[in-house]
Amino acid sequence: MIPSFEELSRRSVSGELSAPEREALEKYLREDPRLRAEHDWDEAFHAKLDEKIGSMPAMPGWERTQAALRAQAEAPRPAGILDRVSERLSAWLGFPFNAQAVAAVLVVIQAGVIGVYAWQLHVTDYSDVRGSQPDAMGRAASLRVSFKPDVREADMRNALAEIDGEIVGGPGQLGVYLVRIKESNPATAAQRLRARGITVLVEIVGKGR
């Protein structure tokens, strides 16, 4: 069922319409100039809301949150699963069995299980594994990108879509992403990204540097 004009108009200005809904809205607007005025008002109102919200702090409450995280990190840590397993083993075996020993035993068991599976599957040809990674990284260049703190997610997505880029790593501690691009000329992609004015850093890495 096609929603009412009012609902279509509101959701249209916040970019939420599917293709059939957009068509239905266009039909309403073509047929009635009064609805066109309603829709224009909705668009103008959404723009004002966007403007107002865009001027709000980018990370409200972050300092308080960091303080809470620090306090949490300093609080006594509850016993982890390895600690609990080692306690049980110690009680069962009658001698101390620390968490590191439990971890080492688990690693040995895991390696054994993987070895058995590999043997069962007769995995002798690793060409797919060898081929995929260098091929993907060899043909495409990458960019190191860091965005300004107040940039909206939608703007980041649009910028990446424009250069046909895909985030393959990050963000690191400094907020730097690794973006793989299909663009044949990475310098052009980097230039386009910088031109949007939403980045702090755009640096070409890999092939094409």
Partner 1 sequence: MKGLAPADVDSLLRRIAQRDQAAFRTLYELSARRVYAFLLHRFRQESLVEEVVSDTLLHVWKNPDAFRGDSAFSTWLLGVARNKMLERVRHQNARATEELDDADEDLLVEDTTPEDVAAMRQRSEGVRECLELLPAEQRECIHLAYYEGWTLEEIGAQMSLKKETVGTRIFYARKKIQACLAALLARERGQQGAPV
Q: Which residues bind partner 1 (CB under 8 A)?
A: 3, 6-7, 10-11, 13-16, 34, 37-38, 40-42, 44-53, 56-62, 64-65, 68-69, 149-150, 153-154, 171-173, 175
With respect to partner 1, which residue has the nearer C-beta, 41 or 117? 41
> Closest distance between partner 1 and the C-beta of residue 159, in Å?
15
3 vs 208, which CB is nearer to partner 1? 3
Please list, residue by residue across 91-101, b when 16 or more beta carbons sit within 10 angstroms of its beta carbon and e when fewer do. eeeeeebebee
Asked if 17 and 11 touch (Cβ cutoff 8 Å), the reply is: yes
Of residues 16 and 135, the one with the C-beta less far from partner 1: 16
What's the CA gap between 43 and 39, in Å, rounded?
6
Q: Judged by CB, which is closer to partner 1: 55, or 120?
A: 55
**Least distance in Å: CB of 160 to partner 1?**
12
* Tokens standing for residue 182: 């299909």
Smallest distance from the beta carbon of 171 to partner 1, in angstroms? 6
DSSP state letter for 173: T
Q: Which amino acid is at 15?
A: G
Half-sphere exposure of 173 (CA within 13 A, CB side): 0
